[in-house]
Chain A
Amino acid sequence: MQNQNEITFETRDMITIITINGDLTVVSEAPLKKAYNNANDCGVSKILLDFDPEAYINSGGIALIIQLLGEARKRNQMVGITGLSEHFKKVFSMVGVTKYARVYASVDEAIAAMSPAS
């Protein structure tokens, strides 16, 4: 049975971190959209998607990420990804997500790389 999603967001160093707990599938669309829209309301320009390394992400979940990347692209927002297991790093790379969002090893590494000073 799929875990319930708990998607939260916080801002650090002008980067909005959207933390996604639980599996990411088709049914995650509403909470993910809500979190992204809430982040947009704050005028965000850089977004870091922080995944739970234990979470399962299926092709429906990846479609949601791709749609989010499409939206971010229209808004000229930079998107980074972190928290992925090795398996999903490969999958994200395989489907081309990594062409639109760089994958980082940790939140700190992502913030360091994405912050305005860098």
Chain B
Amino acid sequence: MGRPARENPGAKVNLQTEIENLRKALRRAEHIEAELDRRVYYMKTLYDVSMDIFSNVETEQILKAFLMMTMGNFGVMEGLIVLMDPITMTISNRTVMGFEETDIPSMGDWVLGAWTNGKKPHHIEVPVTEGSSAIALALPLSIRPDCCGVLGLGEKLTGDAYTSDDMELLETLSNNLVVAVKNARSFEEIRCLNDVLKDKNRELEDMLNKLRAALRKVEILESVKSSLSKFVPATVCKMIEESPQDAFSSRDQDVSILFLDVEGYTKICEKLDHADLNAVIEKYFSVFMDAIYENNGDVNETAGDGLMVIFHNDDKVLNARDAVSAALSIKQRAASIRGTLDAGIPLVINMGINSGSVLVGAAKFESYTGSRWTYTARGLATNIAARIGALATNGRILISKATAERVRSAFPIEFKGKFKLKNVSDEMDVFEIKAF
């Protein structure tokens, strides 16, 4: 039998020390593992929060996701985020979890108090109803000059206090929140501006369509005007353009009126066929028009072989002189084209001029078929001009006394005598313009 082993007290002590050391090391390892787990969890939360809030542009959704993840990270049952305008004290956003709405009767002062108390997380008295849970930690959020806020968190479920690591993570998380909310606000502003821009674009498009329609009307009216101007005196066109309402009103005006007539027109009609007759009239009257317009006259009426021309500018003496100048020019031009006509029929143009006050303007004639407007000069002076024109023969230019007095200094005139004109009571002095 062997000798029983002797206890070695020194070795036992060493073993116990080793076991104790191993236990301590195990506890330390467990603590380190727990700390590592916590840190990994915090890092994961930071990552998830960033991923979530930066992929969103809706402030309410950002706040809710942020609050939930923050509360889940720290194991908190109550939390809230309130954003407000510090100037107007208007709360713009309010996200609450775990509290009843009635637990928080007034937020504005509390938010402002928490916000102005410093930028670091801190404990603060909050206006929660007695008996309900309290906010353990408040973190001010400075987003923009017109937007501040507070993140409030309740006690941890574990009952532990918030550590410096917690505070550090909270600050990092809240910094991300501030950026995300800023982005969201900017996005909201851009969206609003975009909506305004869309409205403006719609208004512009409506306006453009109206302008297009108006332009189309103008084009149609221009086309109508262009067509009508062939039939309407130039003065009338001008008056309608300048003042459409006034164009249809009549007024007394001192004018000179020239009547032009082709002598023997009926006989010429008998000799020529329609085409030749039309060619002759067009040829003559075309050069007459030039003479009339050059002297500020306005062809008021054409009637087969005749023309009525009004000179109705502001100066009555100038009107008379223009009328005589036009008549002389017509006579000269008629003579110059006389030999160029194929038909070989020379036209003799007789003209009469009178000056005086008449009613110038539009006249409306109503009939069963509708109304017709004409622009003319009505009055005795017009009738006398027509009668003097009818008195003229052999290509003469006859003028009344009223006209003669106005042109005497400018043109050679010759008194032809007193004439009884049809339907005119008194005899009239008639003069002839002698060609230079």
Q: Which residues of A contact B (CB under 8 A)?
A: 25-26, 29, 58-67, 69-70, 87, 90-91, 94-97, 99-100
B37→A26 contact, CB < 8 A:
no
Given contacts A67-B97, A97-B157, are A59 and B69 in contact (CB under 8 A)?
A: yes
A63→B157 contact, CB < 8 A:
no
A-B contacts counted at CB < 8 A amount to 82
Given contacts A58-B72, A63-B72, are A99 and B65 in contact (CB under 8 A)?
A: no
Q: In terms of DSSP, what is the predominant structure of the interface of chain B?
A: helix
Shortest CB-to-CB span from A74 to chain B, Å, is: 10
A95→B34 contact, CB < 8 A:
no
A96 partner, pick from B45, B65, B75, B98, beta carbons under 8 A = B75
Complex: A59 Cα to B72 Cα, angstroms:
4
Q: Which residues of A contact B70 (CB under 8 A)?
A: 59
A59 partner, pick from B38, B73, B159, beta carbons under 8 A = B73
A66→B72 contact, CB < 8 A:
yes
A66→B37 contact, CB < 8 A:
no
A63→B69 contact, CB < 8 A:
yes
Q: Which of B250-272 contact A (CB under 8 A)?
A: none
Q: Which residues of B contact A (CB under 8 A)?
A: 34, 37-38, 41, 44-45, 48-49, 52, 64-65, 67-77, 97-98, 156-159
Shortest CB-to-CB span from A56 to chain B, Å, is: 10
B71→A66 contact, CB < 8 A:
yes
Q: Which residues of A contact B75 (CB under 8 A)?
A: 62, 66, 94-97
Chain B: CB-nearest residue to A57: B72
Chain B: CB-nearest residue to A66: B77
A70→B98 contact, CB < 8 A:
yes
B76→A66 contact, CB < 8 A:
yes
Shortest CB-to-CB span from B413 to chain A, Å, is: 108
Most chain B CB within 10 A, of A60, A69, A97, A99, is at A60
**What are 6 contact pairs spanning A and B, CB under 8 A?**
A58-B45, A59-B73, A63-B72, A63-B97, A66-B157, A67-B97
Complex: A62 Cα to B68 Cα, angstroms:
8
5 new A-B contacts at CB < 8 Å, known A26-B64, A96-B156: A26-B52, A58-B72, A63-B72, A69-B77, A94-B158
Complex: A62 Cα to B159 Cα, angstroms:
17
Complex: A66 Cα to B97 Cα, angstroms:
11
Given contacts A58-B44, A59-B45, A66-B157, are A95 and B98 in contact (CB under 8 A)?
A: no
Shortest CB-to-CB span from A63 to chain B, Å, is: 3
Complex: A59 Cα to B73 Cα, angstroms:
5
Q: Which residues of A contact B67 (CB under 8 A)?
A: 63
Shortest CB-to-CB span from B241 to chain A, Å, is: 71
Q: Which residues of A contact B38 (CB under 8 A)?
A: 94
Shortest CB-to-CB span from B61 to chain A, Å, is: 9
A60 partner, pick from B72, B158, B159, beta carbons under 8 A = B72
Complex: A94 Cα to B34 Cα, angstroms:
8
